[in-house]
Amino acid sequence: MSVMDFMRETALEAGALALREQGRLEPGRIHSKASVKDVVTDADLMVEKLVVEGIRDRFPEHDILGEETGASRKGGEYCWAVDPIDGTASYARGTPFFSVSIALMRNGESVAGAVFAPRLDELFLAERGAGAFLNGKKVSVSTRDDLRLAMLGTGFGSFRGGDDDDCLRRFARVVPEVSEVRRCGSAALELAYVACGRYEGFWETGLKLYDVAAGVVLVTEAGGRVSDLLGGGDFPAKGTVASNGLLHDRLLERMTTERPG
Ligand code: IPD
């Protein structure tokens, strides 16, 4: 089985499990992590176990970074970044906006990714050099180049650690200049929406590698661009900005939160 076949099958299986478990979620199966704003459900743990066991069986020599189980590092060339349920807060409230996100990284760079939203029945897959696909159909980023017509996604992950005035200032700068800003609650899914042209762009700070690793390869393979807030490659540590490429620099200009005077 090829890496992409493995990814597809694992994402579908993991998504099906997440879907079944969403119907059975009750308060006792939802827990807080570092803060009350940061939740994990029993389903996150079950889905991560399924994915991690699959990787260990098939690629025993590869490293794994899982949102819930942490890193197992053998110091190799390949590492899998797994977010079993990206958008756990939305998932726990019964919304359809969550996804399973699985990425394969080589020497720190994403080379293949799967983002599956089981309630929406949408599987996004990308492999470096081979393009990005939604349910088997090739997708590409939007061709809109007018910021005033842009629909963007964002998130407020940086608030989990407390207040974040910069995040609010950035939001206040962007909102009046674009057509719409959406917040669906799954960064992986919002990156996938940039890849397939539904959104022109996305930005967020406070994300972790497992949130973005699959989405990044989707966006770049669909013809878009991903950077940190300053336009460099240090994402997600220094923020994540993704776009159709055409609007990237204009988005970056709005990421600075310095106030005049
Ligand atoms: C979260 C989602 C959300 C983002 C948060 C992430 P999780 O991931 O991607 O959209 O705003 O910052 O932590 O915790 O549900 O896997």
Ligand 1: distance of its center to the CA of 116 in Å?
Answer: 15
Q: Report pLDDT digits (tens) over 62-109.
A: 999 998 888 777 778 999 999 999 999 999 999 999 999 999 999 999
Q: What is the structure's pLDDT at 218?
A: 98
Written as one string, the DSSP assignment of 231-260 is SSS-TTTT-EEEE-STTHHHHHHTT--PPP
Given a cut of 60, whether residue 260 has pLDDT beyond it is: no
CB 241 within 8 A of CB 227: yes
| Ligand 1 neighbour 40 (Cβ under 6 A) | no
pLDDT reading at 204 higher than 90: yes
SS3 category, 140: coil
C-alpha–C-alpha distance, residues 49 and 70, integer Å? 12
Contacts of 169 (CB under 8 A, 6+ apart): 257, 259
187 lines ligand 1 (CB under 6 A): yes
DSSP letter at 129 equals T
In sequence order, what DSSP letters do the residues of 45-75 get, joined into one string? HHHHHHHHHHHHHH-TTSEEEETTTEEE---
Q: What is the pLDDT of residues 122-181, one digit of tens each?
A: 999 999 999 999 999 999 999 999 999 999 999 987 777 667 788 999 999 999 999 999
Average pLDDT over residues 201-224: 97
Q: Between 204 and 37, where is the model more confident?
A: 204
- Measured from the Cα of 87, ligand 1's closest atom is 15
- How confident is the model at residue 252, as a pLDDT? 97
**pLDDT above 90 (res 113):** yes
> Over the chain, what is the mean pLDDT?
93
Q: Is the CB of 48 under 6 A from ligand 1?
A: no
What's the pLDDT band for 259 if we cut at 50, 70, 90?
low
